[in-house]
Amino acid sequence: MPEVFRELGFRFYFYSDDHLPIHIHVSYGDGEAKFNLLGNKATLVKNNGLKSGELRTAKRLIEVNLDRIITCWVQYFS
């Protein structure tokens, strides 16, 4: 499972057999979520245990690192 980055206790990653659309998984503590990346926005598609504040922080970190995430996705899955 390729890890893209860690920040503020959040871990951002995708699975080695992931699929389109481009998306990122995030874990924090015992919770995890999945965000699709469309344009320059992150859209929550699945949440399993993250609190609303944690989701807002994760979304902000994803959007700040969007280019990095997409570059990693393209390099890994090409």
**pLDDT value for 26:** 98
**pLDDT value for 11:** 98
SS3 track for 32-54 = EEEEEEECCEEEEEEEECCCHHH
pTM of the model: 0.95
pLDDT tens string 13-65: 999 999 999 999 999 999 999 999 998 899 999 999 999 999 999 999 999 99
Residues whose CB falls within 8 Å of the CB of residue 59, separated by 6 or more in sequence, listed in order: 35, 42, 44
Please report which confidence band the pLDDT of residue 70 belongs to, taking 50, 70 and 90 as the band edges: very high
